[in-house]
């Protein structure tokens, strides 16, 4: 009797453990932890923390007011430092754009207070500044880096010939036989890919497969061109928070397996085969001084162009990049030949 009860509890525990693993999924947001803050490269925000001890020799209420004011100033200064060090692309950080510095200060000044209060004899405050969104840093970066649209040619004067109409008996153009994908997932762990606001995907000849020039301008103005995640259980990061307001994951279902998939079979989708899936590809190498450009093979570039032709997945910016948990971005911590030069780079 006791043995039977033990095995029932063991089976129940196994099912709950599998459900927890399924909910977490194979990836978690890439959270780069910094001195005095952090950057969430998946959800698109940065956080700055400050702690100020209460001054002695004055009333407690006044000391707390003064400490809060100083903590806010320190948090804003830390957030500004982090923001200016964000890699925009594989060549430049945000601090390289003089036209953006005033705008970035304004965004930092309007940051959201996540938490504040007394901890012992110190006043602590955490400030969050958006990278994504119409009021985020990415939107301001786009105003400077996005190429201006080419002027449309003036309409020709005079009568124009009517467009030829297809005959009633003419067959309809054949539909594309290519698979349609909901997103693209690039594995950049072995290539040492680093995050940036506007990364590019290049073929071996340096031709752009994906960049701020190819993505929908609306998408470029509201978010980073890629969401960065890291393998679950890799030692850093935050628990997955990919569920949106409606309870559905913002990332493709291929990356997240909800617990109910353990007990019930998913209802068949009305989309063409493959459209619910993410096209998984592997990066060949990282390019550029900041290692943010993603180089792929010619065959992979062809697959990406075919996925774009069939579903517009690149135009809509549906790109997820898997990076190592120690690769860095604002402060590079990738263990490689350049590690010895890190102190010198940090001083620049």
pLDDT tens, residue by residue, 281-332: 999 999 999 999 999 999 999 999 999 999 999 999 999 999 999 998 897 6
- pLDDT-derived band at 87 (thresholds 50, 70, 90) equals very high
pLDDT at 24: 52
* 81 compared with 277, residue with greater pLDDT: 81
The pair of structure tokens assigned to 216 is: 């929908």
Neighbours of 133 (CB within 10 A): 15
Lowest average pLDDT, out of 147-151, 196-200, 206-210, goes to 147-151
- pLDDT-derived band at 242 (thresholds 50, 70, 90) equals very low
pLDDT at 114: 95
* 226 compared with 181, residue with greater pLDDT: 226
pLDDT at 180: 78
pLDDT tens, residue by residue, 156-169: 655 555 554 544 44
pLDDT at 9: 58
Distance CA 150, CA 148 (A): 6
Contacts of 82 (CB under 8 A, 6+ apart): 34, 36, 37, 39, 46, 48, 330
The ranges assigned to domains in the chain are 23-138
pLDDT at 247: 31
Across 10-19, 95-104, 174-183, 234-243, the highest mean pLDDT is recorded for 95-104
Task: Tell me: pLDDT of 226 over 90.
Answer: yes
pLDDT at 4: 62
Helices 101-109, 60-84: axis angle to 10 degrees equals 140
Distance CA 28, CA 74 (A): 30
pLDDT at 160: 52
Task: Tell me: pLDDT of 79 over 70.
Answer: yes
Lowest average pLDDT, out of 32-36, 151-155, 164-168, 237-241, goes to 237-241
CA atoms within 13 A on the CB side of 25: 20
pLDDT tens, residue by residue, 98-120: 989 999 999 999 999 999 999 98
Q: What percent of the chain has pLDDT over 70?
A: 66
pTM of the entire predicted model: 0.73
Residue with tokens 């510095």: 101
pLDDT tens, residue by residue, 32-46: 999 899 999 999 999
The pair of structure tokens assigned to 182 is: 């909901």
Task: Tell me: pLDDT of 172 over 80.
Answer: no
């Amino acid at each position: 009797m006791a043995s039977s009860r033990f095995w029932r509890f063991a089976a129940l525990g196994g099912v709950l453990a599998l459900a927890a693993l399924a909910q977490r999924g194979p990836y978690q947001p890439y959270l780069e932890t910094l001195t005095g803050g952090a950057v969430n490269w998946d959800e698109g925000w940065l956080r700055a923390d400050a702690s100020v001890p209460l001054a002695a020799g004055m009333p407690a209420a006044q000391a707390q007011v003064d400490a809060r004011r100083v903590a806010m100033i320190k948090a804003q200064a830390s957030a500004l430092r982090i923001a200016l060090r964000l890699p925009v692309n594989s060549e430049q950080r945000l601090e390289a754009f003089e036209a953006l510095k005033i705008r970035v200060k304004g965004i930092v000044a309007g940051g959201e207070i996540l938490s504040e209060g007394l901890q012992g004899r110190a006043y602590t405050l955490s400030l969050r500044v958006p990278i994504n969104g119409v009021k985020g840093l990415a939107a301001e970066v786009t105003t400077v880096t996005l190429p201006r649209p080419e002027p449309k040619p003036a309409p020709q004067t005079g009568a124009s010939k009517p467009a030829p109409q297809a005959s009633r008996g003419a067959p309809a153009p054949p539909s594309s036989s290519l698979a349609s994908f909901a997103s693209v997932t690039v594995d950049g762990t072995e290539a040492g890919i680093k995050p940036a606001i506007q990364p590019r995907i290049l073929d071996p000849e340096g031709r752009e497969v994906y960049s701020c020039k190819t993505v929908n301008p609306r998408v470029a103005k509201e978010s980073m061109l890629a969401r960065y995640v890291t393998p679950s259980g890799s030692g850093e990061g935050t628990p997955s928070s990919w569920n949106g307001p409606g309870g559905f994951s913002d990332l493709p279902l291929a990356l997240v397996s909800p617990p109910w998939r353990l007990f019930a079979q998913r209802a068949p989708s009305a989309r063409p085969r493959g459209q619910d899936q993410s096209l998984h590809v592997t990066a060949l190498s990282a390019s550029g001084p900041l290692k943010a450009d993603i180089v792929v093979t010619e065959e992979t570039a062809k697959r990406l162009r075919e996925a774009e032709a069939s579903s517009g997945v690149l135009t809509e910016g549906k790109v997820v990049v898997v990076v190592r948990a120690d690769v860095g971005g604002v402060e590079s911590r990738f263990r490689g030949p350049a590690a010895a030069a890190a102190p010198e780079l940090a001083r620049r």
